[in-house]
Each structure stands twice: as C-alpha cells, then as structure tokens.
Structure 1
Amino acid sequence: MSFFDCLQDAIDEGSADKERGKLAQRLWRDLADKYERQGHPRHVAEGLAAEDVKAALRKEAGNKRHVYTATMAARRRAEAIVAQSDQIGTIATDALEFAANSPNRAASVIGQQRAIVRAWHSRLAGLLKDHHRDLLGRTRNPAQLRNVVRELHGESTGDLASIAIANSVRQAFEDLRLMFNEAGGLIGKLENWGLPHTHNQRAIRKAGYDAWTAAARGRIAWDKMEDRLTGRPLAEPGAMPPIEVQDAILREVYDNLAFGKQASEAVYGRSDGESLALRRSHERTLPFRSADDWIEYNKRFGTGDPFATIISHVHKMARDIAMIREFGPNPALGMDYRAQLAVGRAREMGDVQLARRIEGNAAHAKRMMVILNGSLVPAGPWQEAVASFMSTTRHVLTAAFLDRAVISAFSDTNSMRMAAASIGMNPGNVLTRHVKLMADGMSREEALRAGWIADTLADPGLALARFQSEVPPAELAERLSSGVLRIQGLSGWTDYARIAFQMEMSGHFASQAGRKLADVDEPLRGLLRDKGITESEWAAFTDPATLFTASNGATFASPIYWREATDMSRAEADDLFLRLQSIVEEQTEFAVPTNSTWARAFVEGGMPPGSIGYELAKSGLMFKSFTMTFTVNQYRRIMSLPTWPSRASYAANMAAGATIMGAIALQITDLVSGRDPSDMTTPEFWATAALKGGAFGLLGDVAGSAERPFGGLPAYAAGPVLSAGQDAWGLIFGNALNLATGKETHFAKDAVRALDRYAPGFDLPVLGEALDRMFSDQLLLLLDPDAADAVARAAKRKKRDFWLPGEITPSRLPDFFKAVGG
C-alpha cells in the first residue's frame, strides 16, 4: 500500500483531518514526481517523498504549537495590562516608547531594544575597541577583521585576537537566537554559518537575475540551508541540491530583493501577513561556503563591511526580540488586539471621547511601528534615488550647520540635573561623573570594565540622530556628518553623559541594597513597582555577589554586570534584566535626549521616503529632532507629577536651569566667533538665553528662529534644504542670467560666501573663526576687487569683534568686562 493510500484510509476512517490529509497527499505526489525526475526509481522516489511529508507535518505541528503558546501568552499579558492600566488613552504608543506618565506597564519596546543593544555591546567590547570607525569613518584594522570573518566561517587563522573576537560574536549571535526563540520565535541552529548579509538592492537590480545568479550560485553553502517544509538540509555536506531546487530558491530570493519585498533581506518561503516568528524562521542569510566567498559577494552586492554587518545584526535582533516580547509572534496583530481591548474598556465606561482617543493613538502607534521596523522604504526606483539624494544633501548640510552643536549640547547638564533629581539621585554626582569620564582615561577604563560601552563606538551616527534621523545617504556624506560631530566632541560628550547617568543610577540602586523592597526610597520604589519587580527579584539583583566593585571600593548595581554575574536561569535572568535595564534606559533618555519615534511618526506621517510630502517634512524637521524630543520628554515628565503646583515648580526649575545653560552657550558662542561676551545685565540677553537653552522647548525654538543661520520663521519651518537650493540657484543660474543680459555678476563673492556657509567643518569651535579670517576673507579680497571696502565697513560696524573681518590675526584680547556691562 502506498503512502497516498494510507492517508486516504485515515481520512475515510475519520482519524485524520480531511483538509490536511488531502494537502499531504498532494505534497507527497509532487515530491515523488520531483525525485523521480531526478533519476530515482519510482518506489524509491515515493519512499523519499513519504519521509519528507512526515517530517514536514511534524515540523509544522511543532512550530504551530510553539507559536500558538507564545500568542496566547501575549494575549493574556495584553488583557492584564489593559485591565490594570489607568492610562489606556495612550496604551499603544506607550508600549512602544517610554513615557513618564504611563504606570502599570512593563518595559517598552524601545526600552527593551536599547537594553539588549547595550548589553550585547558590552559582550562585543573587544570588537568595538579594536575595530570601531576612525574620524574618517573607516573601520580600524581591516586585516584582523577579515580573520574574524574567517573564524566565524569555521576557518582556522591562528590569530588569537581574532579567535577571541569571533568567539564573542558567535556566542552573542547564539544568545540572541535563543532569546528570540524563547519569546516565541523560530530560528534553527546552524554551526559556523558566518555572518548575515545586507544586500545592495540597487546593485542587484542593475546586474539582473542572470548575472546575480552566476555570481551567487557557486558561493552559497547549500548544505547549510534547510528545506522549509522538512527542516532537513537541502544537500549533503559539500554538495549542491538539484538545479531546479537551486533555481527556484534563487529566483524567489532575487524577486524579493529586486522588487522590494523586504529588500534588505534574502527571504525564501515567506507569505504576506506572516508573523515575525515565522518570517524569521524562513529568512535565509544565504550562508556562504567560505569567508572569501562572503567577502567577494559583499564587495559586489553588499552594503556594509563585516563590522557594520555584525552590529546591524545585533540591533535588528534586539528590535525583533523586543517586539515579539511585547506583542507576541505577530506584533502588528498583538498591538491591534491591545488597542481593541482598550476601546472595549472605554465603551464599558461609556466614554466615547476616550474610545476615539485610543483609536487615534493606535493609528499613531502603527506609524511608529513602521519606523521601528525599518519598513518605511521608497515605493520605487525613482523615489529610492530621490530619497538617497535628499538624505545625502541633508547630511552635508548637517556637517555644515551643526559644526558647533557641542555648544548647544551643554544644555544636557540641565536635563541630566532634572532627571537625576526626579528619581532621587544627587545631580551633583552625575555632573561630576560626566566631567571625570570626559577628562580621565582611567575612569573610562573603569566604566568599560563594568560593561558600560560608548554607544558611538558601535553606531557613530547616534550623536547625529539627536538632530535628525535619516534613510541611508551616500557613504561619504554619512562619514562627513558623523566625522564633524565627532571632531568637535559632540559624540564623546553624548557618550560620556549617558554613561555617567547610567553609572550613577547603578550607584543609586546599590545604595538601596540590603533593604526590603517596601523600604526602598521613593521615587525609585515606584519605578521598580511599575516594572513589576518582586521582593525576591530585588534581593537577587542587589545580592552583594553580583554588585560591581570599583577600584576605589564604590559599588554599583548594574543590570548589565548583574546579567553576566547571576546564577539565575537564563530565561528568568533575561526577563529581569530587561525590566531593570529598561528603567535605566528610560531615565537616561530623559537625562540625555536622543531621538523620539513618537515625534518622527507625527511629522513623517507614514509617507514613503522619496515622496514629495516626506522630503518636505524631513527638510522642515532638520535640526528640530532634539528640540522635539526634549519637548515631548519634558511634557511627559511634567504631566506625570501628581499636582499642578508640583508641575509648575518642576517647569520653573527646568526653565531656570535651561536659561542659565543658554547664557553660558551664548557667551561661549560669542568667544569662539571672535566677539566680546554679551552684556548679561540686559533683559534681552536673558530672553535670548532662555530661547537658546531650550527653556520653552519647541515654542522657544520657533520664537528664536530668526537667530538661525538660515533665519526667519518661514525659512525655519521649511528647513535649510530649500534655503540651500535658493542659494545654489542664485550662485549658478542667477549669475549666469546676469552675465547673459549684460548685468554685473557677483560670482566670486557669492561663491566665497557659499563656501563659508556650506563647507562642512568651516565653523568648528575656535577653528571656524580662524578659517573665516585667514582663508575666507583673504580669498574674497583676492577674487573680488570691491571686497576691501565691504570688509572695512564690516570691521567698523563690528565693534565687539576682537578678531576683525579681513585680519589674519586677532587685533586684541576679548574684553570680558563686557559681560557685566563694562
């Protein structure tokens, strides 16, 4: 009796589901025919097909059971959260991004993602220290990095340093896989599979299917790929599957890449609407036969070097783990279910306005999820080209206009002070720690030993993200913008500010060690309660054996250090670590604001990059990301306070501190611009200082728009891209039109001014003024015969300038008495 007949008997007897039985029969017939075409005798082909069908059914049943269990757990969790929360109006967005006024909620997606990323950066400290990018954006020690790639592919190099880094990467990837699976995902284990691959969609599309297939086919380790039906390898070790199997897979992978279906990932066997858990199980990183095969393919069809590939994989897995933990195997459906529950509760309360608010909040959360998933992509080749060009333009303008951003970043000291005080920490300790980290290499080594890694070692664009978030630009532009921010010290300032706050918060945790949870000081006890920390969990976290002890004897209860020191089971430790580190990450974001997904979704509105609306919005948003994030964070912090008097007191304290920091920033700006300090005895100075320091958040930024280098409220709203376009038009076409009509041209003067205004790094602190006087002014005097008179008139007007226009050296020292009206 054939396998087909056995199935038919089971269907007839009622012992097998009819629909599944018929599907298995069709699958068996198709597989038997395939094996027969490959040269197997019919009876052998039918036997192989039967084994495959049985394996496929077992795999399907196991996968479904695993995903179903995770889905039901997510549903029960959602029901409990909605039932307990007293902030259901914003329940969808609060689940994605932390907010100070959303109690009775576990860690947010972004909080968990950042916690995982920070922990895994710590595990990859050797890689980050040895291979992070230099000031020119180049990966350090590329030769050793190639050895790391070889070790990851199972090729022995004998390089002990590379072996150690490869082992840390391999273990980090494995732990991420296990964490993803425990949350409800499905990723099988592969030995020495190497590295994932980020494909260059444009290069693949340009090459075409035939050329791409010819380059990829022989490099793929087919024996490391699993048949999606059975879970078995597609080929024996070292062999290749039948050509028809290869062609079917390669065609599907190519179509996914070339036609934009999850264009950065090669996917084999995905269906629309599939859960994140199943999608990850079907992903194919196209495992390569050797490190050289990976490297050669990457040169032609890749978008990142090995260092960027490793870091990108960690960040993507962290995002997916956080999503699936929060919402279940299908995050979009899980978030929608939570919103439906909240709407149902509002209806039971008879509150129509609340129900409508929840629906609007859920719609906004969907836009946020699109941004977090990276699925906001251009709709076609034309939009892709426009998006890349505009992103590149904005990066160049960032390098030109934000070359003094570190001065504005001094306002972080005020937000750090306020964030520390709001959770019961000593603000002075945080600021002192920040100064020590900036100035003392030994302090930085101590932080590294405890697991605190500078974020920009892994992601040099993090400092830039404080001011704008972009689709990928041309590589040179990205290097230029991040390089300018690092040269002026903004990256280091941001890194050490965040590390300082986290270290002091860990010290604050340690100061409460040995106490019962009920005896922990407020408001820390409230933060722990909101994350569901139990008495036994608090005792485990503050166990003296798991505290980090510094060289001076100080102790720190760091979730990152604790995760590696605890003997708690891995799954329990991961869960507790994520909740604890999320507290730290959330409070750090209030202290040193970086980027708000809520604000981005509000401005970008889910429009695809490259579209007119998106590009206009991104231009208008330029340099406002920090201000928007700061405004959103402070509003949430203020509204979380219990009474209006306490809210007013906090707002006044924050505004006063911001005004003082704005005053300091104004005076520093004057000095590095070659001017005497401003008179601090006038009301106008303090009004400007309040705007400069962010005392009024976004409103103050708008009110002070006339002070921008591209000045005026309309120009502020439109952003610098349109202003730059207008200047470029005047420089090229305006002067050409004047030349054609016999009018006087000002090309030399306009060109020098454009160079001075738009050249990246030409306005760096101290260096910028020297370039203006020693290069730009001298070039203008050389090229424009009328410039001498204009420079002389400007020098007479600028009586506060101690470094006058046209002068190669300063004419005098700054007059500091001007600051007090002298």
Structure 2
Amino acid sequence: MRQECIQAVQQAAKRTLTAREIQDIEDRIYRNMRSLARDDPASWRQLTDAERLRRAGQLASDELQREAALKKRRVALTISARQRLDNFINNYQGADGKLGALNRTIAFSADGKSNFLSVESRTKATRDYALSQLQEAFEAVDPRFFGLFEDEAGVRDLVFEMRGQNTGNAKARKGAKAWGEVTELLRRRFNDAGGDIGYLENWGIPQHHSMEKVGAVTKGKWVSDVIGKLDRKYYTRADGQLMSDSELTVFLGEAYNTIATGGLNKLTDTGMRISGARGNRGNASRQIHFKDADSYLQYQQLYGDRSLWEIMVGHLEGISKDIALVETYGPNPDHVFRSLLDQTKSETAMANPQDTGRIERQANNTENLYNFISGKTQPVANQHIARWSDNIRNWMVASRLGSALLASFSDLGTMYLSAKVTNLPMNQLFRNQLEAMDPTNRTELARARRAGLAMESLLGSVNRWAMDNMGPSVSRWAATAVMRASGLTAWSDAHKRAYGVTMMGSLGDVVTRTPDLKSLSNDDFRILKSKGITDTDWNVWKLAQQEDWGKGNNTMLTPESIMRIPDSAVQHLGAPERVKFEAMRKLLGAVTEEVDMAVITPGAREQMITGSGIQRGTWKGELTRSVFLFKSFPISVVMRHWSRAMGMPSAGGRAAYIATFIASTTILGALSQQLNDMASGRNPRDMAGEDAAKFWLGALLKGGGLGLYGDFLLSDHTRYGSGALASMLGPVAGLVDDVIKIGQGIPLNAVDGKSEQTGGDLVKLGKGLTPGANIWYLKAALDHMIFNQMQEYFSPGYLRKMEQRSKKEFNQTYWWRPQDVTPQ
C-alpha cells in the first residue's frame, strides 16, 4: 500500500495503524478486487485501475464495519452465555458439585437432576428436526432393499436440482427445495448465535473427499483430474484477473496436502485439529468450486466414498453441533468452556483440599467429554489398521447379531418403566405400539418422521448393539443388511416412534390443561421439569395449534406445530424465529432424551466408556473398540437406569424403581432365552426344576442387557464354545481364541486318533463367520440343512456329542435334533 493511502486510512481511523493492520487492509482490497472481477467480468474489464481500487476499497470498508459490529455482538453474546452458565453452575445443588454441573451442560444425564438441555441433546434435536424436513429428499434417492442401495438416477436428478439444473423430476425438485430451505434455516440459526457463514448463491450441496482415495494418487494426478471440473471464475489473482493453469495448480496442490493427510498439516501441539472460534466455522471460502452437477458427480465417483445421503446427513450433523456449541457457550465455546473448567476446578479444590485427586479426575473426565462432543478428535493414526479393524468388527456384527432381536424384548420393560416415571398414559402407549408395529401403516411412519422421531434408520445406524463407527465398505453393507433383515432396526424404530408419539400427545394435553410451568406437579412431572424448559418455551408451546392424528393422538404437540406459529403471535417474546426454534428444540430434546431411555440407545457418555474417544488407527484404540463391541447396549442399560433409579427423590422411590426394573427385565429375559432356544432347534428350558436357579440367573442377566454373558456365571465355556475370559474381551478376542484352539487341537487330535474332530471345529468356525447365518428365523434351517451336515461329514459323531453336551450343561433336549435335516 502506498504511503499516501496509509496516511489517508490512519486519518480516517484517527490512530496509527500497525504493520499487520495495514497488510490486512491491503489483503482485503485485493480479495474484493478478485470478487468484483469474478461476479461481473465484463464490467470489471471496463473499469480504470483507480475505479477498481475505489470500489474494492469501499467493499473493504464495509467489511470492516460489519466485522466491528459482529465483534461487538459476539462480545455481548459471550457475556450472556457466561452469565447463563454461571447462574446454572452456582445454583446447582447436586452432590457432584460445580464440576458436575459443568459436566451436565455437555451431555445428557439420566438422573433427572440437570434442568439443562445439554449440547448433546441440543445437537440431536437440531439434527433430527432438519432430517424431519427432508423426507422428499430421502424419497428422491429411492433407497431399496432394506435401504442399502441408492437409485443412481434419483441421486443424479437430486444433485442436478440442488445445483439449480432442471431435470423434470418433481420428486427430486421437491427434495432439493426442502434441502435448500432447511440448510438456509440452520445457517441463519448459526449466525444468530454468533456465527458468520455468508450466503453462497450456487452452493447447493456440501463437498466430500475420501482421504484414502485422494492419498492413493499423486498430487499431479489429483490436480489433473480436478482442474477441468472447476468453475474458473472463482479463482482469480490479486488484480482480479483469472488464475493461469500453473497458478491454479499451485493452489490446488495445497488443497491436496490437506485432504490427503486428513488435516495433519493443521494440527495443534497436542495432536488435536486446529479450531478457532466456532463462530467462524464455515466462513472460509469454499476452495473447490465445481462448474456443474456432472463435474461434482464425476469427482465423487473418483474421489468420494460416501453416498449422497451420507454426505447430506454429515453436513446436518456438523452444523447442528456447531449451533449447539455456540448457543450454549457463546461464539468461542472452547475459550468459555476452558475458563469455566479452570474456575470450577479451582473453586472445588479450594473447598475440598482433601479430594484433589478425585477433583482432578472429574475435571479430566469433563474435559475429555467436551472434546468428544465438540469433535476435537485426533486424526486416524494408521489408515490400514483402522480399516482392517473396522472390517473385522463389521463382520462380527454381520455374523453374530442376526438373533439380537430375540434379546430385545427387555425394551418393553424399560419402555413401560420409563412411561410410568414420565407419567405417560399406558393404554395409549400400547395402542401406539400396535400402530407402529404394522409394516403396512405408512401414514404412521411418515407422521412420526415429520415429527423428528426415530431417525436412526434414516442415518443407517446400528449403534444400539454394536458401535456406530463403521467405515464405508462391503463389511459395513453386510452388517447393516443383517441388522435390517433380522427385524431389529424395524423393532427399535417402531418402539421409539410409539414412545415419542405418546409423549408428544401427552405433552400437548398437559400444556392445554396447565396455565404455566410452575403449576406442574413436582411428583408427576419431575422428569419433564428437569429438561431446562423455560416460561418462554412453555408460552410458545401453548400458542401452537396442536395436531389431531386420530386414534387417541388428538393433542399432538409437534415440532412443526410450533414452527407454524405466526411470527406476530410470538413477537412479544423475542425474535420470532429464534423463540420458535428454541421452543421446538426443547420439545424435541426432551422427547428424544426419554425415547433413548425407554428404548436404550447409547449416548456420548456410554460411547466414551466404550472407546469412541480414543484415537483410531492405533492398537490401543482399535483393541479397546474390539473389547467393547456388543457391550455398548448393556453398559447403557446399567448406566442409564441405575442413574435414573438413584435420582429418584426418596429411598422408597429408588427401591421401587430398581425392583420394577429387575422384575420386568428378568421376565422378559426369560422369554428371550426361551425364544432363542426354540429358534435354535432346542426345547424350552425347565423354569421350575432343579436347574431353575441357573435359568433365572441367566434370565436376570440377559434381561438386564448382558446378553450371552449370563452364561459365564453358569459354565466354564459359553454355549458357543469360547472361553469366558476370551468372550468377555469381546467377539474379536473370542475369534482369536477359537482359531488358536483349533490350531492347538490339530496335533493333539492327530495324536489321540481324532483327526476328524478338526474338520467339525473348522465348520463351526466358518459358520460363526458367515454373515446372516445367525438370523433368528433362518439359523435353525441353515444349521440342520447345511452346517450340521457338514460337521457330521467331516467329524462323524460330532452332532451326538453336541447333543450330549447340551443335555449335560444346560439340561436341554431338542425339538429339532441336530442330525435331522427336517424336524421329526
């Protein structure tokens, strides 16, 4: 910048500028020159150098004024957020103290004592509402065969419509319109909370790059594949002229380095990815600008590894998390959280100097939970280790969880127990269950999804029973296919929808009958009053025009009923969109928290315990995930319902809760055991004979969520043949144990003259690794017609020994004997 220009700027600013400030102003002017040239190249070429400089300078001046106003607003928002958090922490009366209060702002706590909508619940409510508005987009890609495939023509048309290119496909056009509206709503909500995402006219759809695919090719190859697909008008030099091929090649080379390394060139000293103020997330220029929909699709085919739906959901999850963080902690949530953590840790330690060790652990746990929730994860250390570990775990899900549905009857116990605690009408819940379980009732499904309920099937999640970190692969496809084919996904979704619909209807009735929040009975509505609902939220709820879904659900308070309230009706409560959006999420957040209690779904706290926060691609991280595979569900059952029991206001209430939980889940566990035996060709076990104690202990453990691990207290080996210790270390360790035993058995069997035994063991191992072989309605037929015959062929007498062992160890007989191809 010339000296006379610097003097003019300093005179206008009425102070001396630093060298850095001068450089920033110069950079702004050049950036705006590029923007002017890109937006209207013809007009730009007609301008003189002086006029170009004047216009760019005016834009830079406007930018500085906007940024100054934004900075001032962000300071106010930060102060407001800090005051809210200080009030909550200082007024919290729980035994876990101020550090516990801060911890509760991060993730859902099941004890009903938080009175705060956590970042976790706020994120999920925001995401689920966004997904509820995208039914047209989901239908446009026409998922078929258990939702495992996308229709290529539908995907193409949807992408074209998102990019503003008409295809004549009305369904795709509606889906693209819905996508544009919901993403724009989330952009506004993020900016309202202190964010700064500008409006990009031709944005359309988020980008996705597979680090593995990009890293597998050279920089030159990637650049040559990309450069012809770009909209060149977005790539200009400082003087506004278009970049040359060589200049653009250098520019894209930097993008390649970031993508191919997974951000390793942008790490802090701790190994965490660099993150500035969360409010600035998304305001960086979108560096890869494709010129049209075809170019985008061609790039995704070459260098993407996610489906269109996964890309869309990933965008919604990311911005929903950002919104929740800036709303809770202010525009720079990391800074506010750190200051709160330091303050509460210091105050707690000063008040309890004898407990410094416990306080330090509590503070570390809180910090780790925040890092996990906010996405502060370390990049994958080794892609090969991570990929192979994912594939093994996916294969375990596909080959071992085909009968998980039969172990899910305990959902009924936890669902009705939760309904009692939240004061829901039991008869209506049962009626809604029947409606949701009807696979032909598409109206119920559509309404529930429009209300933001049971979105897991749309997300392709198998998080209830396994671990929801499966990467894109054939093994993931197999795992998802088995979970859907077994009916477990449909079962879980149906019961979640039934509970959520019942709760929304009950809330509508309560809101109608109750004038204000303080009029609610603490005895009947303790859980509802623990959700951080304010008087403003309640007043907005009362203004909603409730929906009549029929069949007893005639007072439905839904997210859409809240968002449809006319702006004029809520202006006296604040900015209309902000007030309605907040009240809507308080509703959806409260409902989804209780739905996940009723039909247990692991949350952030449980995921942290099962290793989700540990770096992927390391032996420690992958072994931890393998140990806890299949254990996230039982851990969640114990953690959540024990916490809920201990949160009851009286000793009698705590005892009654625990007794009801144990009794109901034990009875349902007994049912699960009997059904599982019958599905395997065995007769039901005697529940009252000499082995009754063993049976009911197994039922207690199975109903309580421990599944097959109930057998470990009853026998030296599980009914699958694995040692108890190996199985407790997870199915992957159990598989390794089985392979080692077979290897050890080969020479021993040869010495003992039983070499044929090895063949039967290998067949059994192969069966245990066959995806779908364990599906509950197929496994008896597959066993008797294929696997048993193979075992008997390779190891004559193998089936007779198996029958004898079942009689000896479990006192069971068979209604379909192992050696019979068909039932006799």
TM-score of the two chains, using structure 2 as the length reference: 0.86
Which residue of 1 is the match for residue 362 of structure 2?
361
> Which residue of 276, 286, 289 maps to 1:287?
289
> Which residue of 259, 262, 267 maps to 2:261?
259
CA shift in 2, pair 1:781/1:799, >3 Å: same
- Code of the residue aligned with 2:631 in structure 1: it is K
Query: Is 1:419 paired with 2:418?
Result: yes
CA shift in 2, pair 1:107/1:306, >3 Å: same
Residue pairs, 1:340-489, within 5 angstroms: 340-346=342-348, 350-352=351-353, 357=358, 359-380=360-381, 383-439=382-438, 441-442=440-441, 444-445=444-445, 447-448=447-448, 451-461=451-461, 464-489=462-487
Q: What's the % identity of the aligned pairs? A: 23
Which residue of 1 is the match for residue 85 of structure 2?
78
Query: Is 1:801 paired with 2:814?
Result: yes
Which residue of 2 is the match for residue 583 of structure 1?
590
SS at match of 2:733: helix
CA shift in 2, pair 1:11/1:131, >3 Å: closer
1:315 deviation in Å?
A: 1.8
- Code of the residue aligned with 2:555 in structure 1: it is F
Matches of 1:41 and 1:224, distance apart in 2: 22
Deviations 1:36-69 (A, max 9, x none): 9x99998678657755754553454344334333
CA shift in 2, pair 1:696/1:764, >3 Å: closer
Matches of 1:435 and 1:515, distance apart in 2: 30
1:721 deviation in Å?
A: 0.8
Matches of 1:262 and 1:189, distance apart in 2: 29
1:573 deviation in Å?
A: 0.6
Which residue of 2 is the match for residue 694 of structure 1?
704
CA shift in 2, pair 1:17/1:431, >3 Å: farther
1:690 deviation in Å?
A: 0.8
CA shift in 2, pair 1:102/1:353, >3 Å: farther
Structure 2: 5+ residue stretches without partners: 38-44, 571-575
1:297 deviation in Å?
A: 0.3
Are 1:94 and 1:102, in contact at CA under 8 Å, matched by a contact in 2?
no
Matches of 1:768 and 1:410, distance apart in 2: 19
Are 1:27 and 1:53, in contact at CA under 8 Å, matched by a contact in 2?
yes
Residue pairs, 1:168-207, within 5 angstroms: 168-207=178-217
Query: Is 1:315 paired with 2:314?
Result: no
Question: Which deviates further from its counterpart, 293-302 or 423-432?
Answer: 423-432
Deviations 1:290-324 (A, max 9, x none): 11011000011112122221122112222221122
1:34 deviation in Å?
A: 13
SS at match of 1:810: coil
Query: Is 1:150 paired with 2:150?
Result: no
Residue pairs, 1:767-806, within 5 angstroms: 767-784=778-795, 787=798, 800-806=813-819
1:470 deviation in Å?
A: 4.5
Which residue of 2 is the match for residue 501 of structure 1?
499
CA shift in 2, pair 1:438/1:121, >3 Å: same
CA shift in 2, pair 1:791/1:619, >3 Å: closer
Matches of 1:34 and 1:435, distance apart in 2: 61
1:23 deviation in Å?
A: 2.8
Question: Which deviates further from its counterpart, 54-63 or 108-117?
Answer: 54-63
- Code of the residue aligned with 2:738 in structure 1: it is D
1:774 deviation in Å?
A: 0.6
Deviations 1:621-655 (A, max 9, x none): 01110011111111220121122232122111111
Question: Which deviates further from its counterpart, 421-430 or 40-49?
Answer: 40-49
CA shift in 2, pair 1:336/1:539, >3 Å: same
Which residue of 2 is the match for residue 550 of structure 1?
549
Question: Which deviates further from its counterpart, 143-152 or 278-287?
Answer: 278-287
Question: Which deviates further from its counterpart, 724-733 or 435-444?
Answer: 724-733
Count of matched residue pairs: 790
Which residue of 2 is the match for residue 138 of structure 1?
148
1:251 deviation in Å?
A: 3.1
Are 1:131 and 1:140, in contact at CA under 8 Å, matched by a contact in 2?
yes
CA shift in 2, pair 1:631/1:741, >3 Å: closer
Residue pairs, 1:810-821, within 5 angstroms: 810-811=823-824
CA shift in 2, pair 1:747/1:8, >3 Å: farther
Deviations 1:375-395 (A, max 9, x none): 435543xx2210110111011
1:760 deviation in Å?
A: 1.5
Question: Which deviates further from its counterpart, 401-410 or 788-797?
Answer: 788-797
Query: Is 1:721 paired with 2:732?
Result: yes
CA shift in 2, pair 1:519/1:778, >3 Å: same
CA shift in 2, pair 1:193/1:548, >3 Å: same
1:256 deviation in Å?
A: 1.6
SS at match of 2:199: coil
Query: Is 1:666 paired with 2:636?
Result: no
Which residue of 2 is the match for residue 306 of structure 1?
308
Question: Which deviates further from its counterpart, 93-102 or 503-512?
Answer: 93-102
Question: Which deviates further from its counterpart, 488-497 or 327-336?
Answer: 327-336
1:4 deviation in Å?
A: 3.4
CA shift in 2, pair 1:22/1:613, >3 Å: closer
1:693 deviation in Å?
A: 0.5
CA shift in 2, pair 1:794/1:696, >3 Å: closer
Matches of 1:285 and 1:704, distance apart in 2: 61
Matches of 2:821 and 2:709, distance apart in 1: 40
**RMSD, aligned α-carbons:** 3.8
Are 2:279 and 2:331, in contact at CA under 8 Å, matched by a contact in 1?
yes
Matches of 1:13 and 1:437, distance apart in 2: 68
Which residue of 2 is the match for residue 335 of structure 1?
337
- Code of the residue aligned with 1:362 in structure 2: it is A
CA shift in 2, pair 1:370/1:132, >3 Å: farther
Are 1:516 and 1:535, in contact at CA under 8 Å, matched by a contact in 2?
no
Matches of 2:774 and 2:508, distance apart in 1: 44
Which residue of 1 is the match for residue 138 of structure 2?
128
Question: Which deviates further from its counterpart, 670-679 or 532-541?
Answer: 532-541
Residue pairs, 1:214-225, within 5 angstroms: 214-223=224-233
1:154 deviation in Å?
A: 1.0
SS at match of 1:604: coil
